[in-house]
C-alpha cells in the first residue's frame, strides 16, 4: 500500500500530511473504519490508486491546491508504473566507534597540555629552542586551544624572530574567532603581535601598525597592561618625530624671526615663530621665555605661566624665566607667589635689578592689603582669588591653624607662643599676603 501511494505522483504529496497518514494507518489496522473516512477526498483518491481505478470526486486531487505540490503528471498504466526508488540510508557510526574517537580526542588534548607545561618550564629557563619544540608538538596534537600559538609567539618574540611571532599571532586570532574563544585570549594574541611590531618599528621607524594593533586589542579587552604599551608606543612615535624634526640652527633662526615680530608688537606672528623654534629644539629655554612674554602681552596668562615654568625647568639658572613667571603672577594678583618667584631668582643672580623691582612692587601690594588700604571691591576680588588657591584652602581648613587665628584675636599670651614657631608664622604670612588676614 505505502509503496503504491509513494510511487503515484497524485498521492505522494498526501504522505507528507500527518492526518492523512494517521487515517490510512487506522484503515490498515481495521478495514471496517473505511466508512468513517469516505468523505475525505484524499482517502478516495488513494483507494483509486490502490485499486488501479480513477475515482472522480467533486474536487479530485488534480483540482486541489496543496502547498509545494507540483501538478500531477499523466498517470501511467499499472504495467508502466516505475517502482519506487528508496534512498539508501547512510550508515551511522556504531556507538563503540564514537566512544573510541572521543577517548582518542581526550588523550590528544591531555598530551597537548603536558607538552604546553613542558614548554612553559623551558621558557622560564630561557631554553627557547626546546620551548618551541614542545609548543609545536602541542599544536599538532590539539588545535582547539590558541594558547599554544600565543605561547610559541612569546618565545619567538624573546628570540627576536618577529615575523614568526606575528604569523603565530595572526593564526591565533583567526582560529580563536572560528572557535569563539574567550575575547581575552584574542586580545592577548593582538597585544603580542603589536609588541613585535614595536620592536620592528625601532628599525623601520613606523609605529603606526603597532599602535593600530594595540587599539584593536583594547576593543577586545581593555587590559591596563595593553593600554600602557599603547601609551608607550605613542610616546615613542612622538619622540621619533621630534628627533627627525630637531634642528638647532633652524630653531635659532625661528627665534630671531619671533624677536623681530615682538619688537614690531606683532605678537601672534611672534608666537608662531617661537612655537616653531620650540618644535625644532624643545630644549631651548630662551624660546619658552620669549613666548611667555608674548602670551603676557596677549593677556593669555595661563599659557604664559606654563611657558615660564618650562623655561625654569630647562635652565634653573636662567633668571629671565623667574622674572617672566613673577610678572605673570603679579598681573594675576598673586602677589605672595610672585614674591616667592622673584626671591628664588635672586638666589642665582642677587643683584638682578628686574627681580629686585619685582620684589618691591609685590611688597607694596602686600603691605597695602595688610593695612586695609584696598577698596572693598579690591579686597573682595583679592580674597575670592586667594580662596581658589589650594594652599590657602589647606591652611584655612587645618584645625590647628584655625585655633592659632582665634588665639591671635582673643589670646595675646598664646599668640606670643605661636609667633615663636617659624612654620606657623610662615602660614600666617601667606594669609596676610593673600589678603585673607589683616594686621592692625
Tens-place pLDDT, residues 331-364: 988 888 999 999 999 999 999 999 999 999 998 8
* Statement: residue 406 has pLDDT above 90: no
Average pLDDT (78-100) is 58
pLDDT band at 48 (very low <50, low <70, confident <90, very high): confident
Cβ proximity of 335 and 362 under 8 Å: yes
> In whole angstroms, what is the distance from residue 274 CA to residue 217 CA?
40
pLDDT above 90: percentage of residues in the chain? 53
**pTM for the whole thing?**
0.50
Q: Give the tens place of pLDDT for each residue, 292-336.
A: 999 999 999 999 999 999 999 999 999 999 999 999 999 988 888
C-alpha cell read off for 24? 490510512
How high is the pLDDT of residue 96? 61
pLDDT band at 70 (very low <50, low <70, confident <90, very high): very low
How high is the pLDDT of residue 62? 42
How high is the pLDDT of residue 36? 82
Q: Which domains does the chain have, with CATH numbers?
A: 2-78 (no CATH), 107-214 (1.25.40.10), 391-440 (1.10.260.100)
* Statement: residue 80 has pLDDT above 70: no
Q: Give the tens place of pLDDT for each residue, 362-371.
A: 988 888 766 6
Q: Give the tens place of pLDDT for each residue, 110-151.
A: 999 999 999 999 999 999 999 999 999 999 999 999 999 999
Amino acid at each position: 500500500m505505502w509503496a503504491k501511494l509513494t510511487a503515484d505522483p497524485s498521492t505522494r504529496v498526501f504522505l507528507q500530511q500527518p492526518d492523512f497518514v494517521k487515517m490510512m494507518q487506522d484503515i490498515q489496522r481495521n478495514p471496517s473504519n473505511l466508512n468513517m473516512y469516505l468523505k475525505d477526498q484524499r482517502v478516495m483518491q488513494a483507494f483509486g490508486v490502490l485499486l488501479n481505478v480513477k475515482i472522480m470526486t467533486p474536487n479530485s486531487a488534480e483540482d486541489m491546491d496543496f502547498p509545494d505540490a507540483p501538478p500531477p503528471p499523466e498517470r501511467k498504466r499499472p504495467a508502466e508504473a516505475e517502482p519506487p526508488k528508496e534512498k539508501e540510508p547512510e550508515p551511522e557510526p556504531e556507538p563503540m566507534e564514537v566512544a573510541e574517537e572521543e577517548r582518542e580526542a581526550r588523550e590528544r588534548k591531555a598530551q597537548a597540555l603536558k607538552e604546553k607545561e613542558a614548554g612553559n618550564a623551558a621558557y622560564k629557563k630561557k631554553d627557547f629552542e626546546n620551548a618551541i619544540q614542545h609548543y609545536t608538538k602541542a599544536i599538532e596534537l590539539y588545535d582547539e586551544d590558541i594558547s599554544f600559538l600565543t605561547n610559541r609567539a612569546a618565545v619567538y618574540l624573546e628570540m627576536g624572530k618577529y615575523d614568526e611571532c606575528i604569523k603565530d599571532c595572526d593564526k591565533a586570532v583567526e582560529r580563536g574567532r572560528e572557535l569563539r574563544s574567550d575575547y581575552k585570549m584574542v586580545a592577548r594574541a593582538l597585544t603580542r603581535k603589536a609588541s613585535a611590531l614595536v620592536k620592528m618599528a625601532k628599525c623601520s621607524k613606523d609605529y603606526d601598525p603597532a599602535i593600530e594593533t594595540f587599539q584593536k586589542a583594547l576593543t577586545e579587552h581593555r587590559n591596563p597592561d595593553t593600554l600602557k604599551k599603547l601609551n608607550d608606543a605613542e610616546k615613542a612615535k612622538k619622540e621619533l618625530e621630534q628627533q627627525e624634526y630637531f634642528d638647532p640652527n633652524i630653531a635659532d633662526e625661528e627665534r630671531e624671526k619671533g624677536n623681530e615680530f615682538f619688537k614690531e608688537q606683532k605678537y601672534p606672528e611672534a608666537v608662531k615663530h617661537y612655537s616653531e623654534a620650540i618644535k625644532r629644539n624643545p630644549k631651548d629655554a630662551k624660546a619658552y621665555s620669549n613666548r611667555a612674554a608674548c602670551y603676557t602681552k596677549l593677556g593669555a596668562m595661563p599659557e604664559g605661566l606654563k611657558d615660564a615654568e618650562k623655561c625654569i625647568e630647562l635652565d634653573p639658572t636662567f633668571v629671565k624665566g623667574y622674572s617672566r613667571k613673577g610678572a605673570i603672577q603679579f598681573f594675576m594678583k598673586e602677589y605672595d607667589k610672585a614674591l616667592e618667584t622673584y626671591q628664588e631668582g635672586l638666589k642665582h643672580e642677587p643683584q638682578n635689578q628686574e627681580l629686585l623691582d619685582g620684589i618691591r612692587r609685590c611688597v607694596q601690594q602686600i603691605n597695602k592689603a595688610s593695612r586695609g588700604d584696598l577698596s572693598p571691591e579690591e579686597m573682595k576680588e583679592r580674597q575670592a582669588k586667594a580662596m581658589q588657591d589650594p594652599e590657602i584652602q589647606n591652611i584655612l581648613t587645618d584645625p590647628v591653624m584655625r585655633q592659632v587665628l582665634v588665639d591671635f584675636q582673643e589670646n595675646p599670651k598664646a599668640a606670643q607662643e605661636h609667633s615663636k614657631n617659624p612654620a606657623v608664622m610662615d602660614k600666617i604670612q601667606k594669609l596676610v599676603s593673600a589678603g585673607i588676614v589683616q594686621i592692625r
